[in-house]
Amino acid sequence: MAKLVFDIETTALPVENFDEVQQEYLFREAAKISDETERATKHAEIQRMFSLWPFTAQVVCIAMLNAETQRGQVLFTAEDYDEEPGEAGPVEFVPCVDEVELLTAFWDVAKHYDSIATFNGRGFDVPFIYLRSALLNVPISRKDWLGYRYAVEPHCDLAEQFSFYNVSGREGAARKFNLDFYCKAFGIESPKSQGVTGMDMGDMIAAGQYREIAEYCLRDVKATVLLYNIRKERLAGIK
pTM for the predicted model, two decimal places: 0.94
Question: How many beta carbons lie within 10 A of that of residue 103, not counting itself?
Answer: 24
pLDDT for 215: 94
CA-CA distance, 194 to 192, in Å (whole number)?
5
Under DSSP, the state recorded for 77 is E
Q: What is the chain's pLDDT, residue by residue, as a tens digit (239 residues)? A: 799 999 999 999 999 999 999 999 999 999 999 999 999 999 999 999 999 999 999 999 999 999 999 999 999 999 766 665 555 689 999 999 999 999 999 999 999 999 999 999 999 999 999 999 999 999 999 999 998 989 999 999 999 999 999 998 888 999 999 999 999 999 999 988 777 777 788 888 888 899 999 999 999 999 999 999 999 999 998 87
CA-CA distance, 110 to 6, in Å (whole number)?
10
Q: Count up the domains in the chain and report the number.
A: 1
Going edge to edge, which strands form the sheet with 57-66? 91-96, 72-77, 57-66, 3-12, 115-118, 155-157
CA-CA distance, 86 to 96, in Å (whole number)?
18
pLDDT for 193: 78
CA-CA distance, 193 to 215, in Å (whole number)?
13
CATH number of the domain that residue 25 is part of: 3.30.420.10
Q: What is the pLDDT of residues 49-77, one digit of tens each?
A: 999 999 999 999 999 999 999 999 999 99
In a domain, 239, yes or no: no
The answer to whether the beta carbons of residues 26 and 46 sit under 8 Å apart is yes
CA-CA distance, 50 to 56, in Å (whole number)?
5
In a domain, 119, yes or no: yes
Strands (E), the chain: 3-12, 57-66, 72-77, 91-96, 115-118, 155-157
- Between the alpha carbon of residue 143 and those of residues 105, 107, 130, the distances in Å are 16, 10, 8
Range of the domain at 11: 3-234
Strands (E), 45-199: 57-66, 72-77, 91-96, 115-118, 155-157
In a domain, 9, yes or no: yes
In a domain, 139, yes or no: yes
User: Exposed, middle or buried: residue 137 (CB in 10 Å: 0-12, 13-18, 19+)?
Assistant: exposed
In our burial notation (b when 16+ CB lie closer than 10 A, e otherwise), range 68-85 reads eeeebbbbbbbeeeeeee
In a domain, 164, yes or no: yes
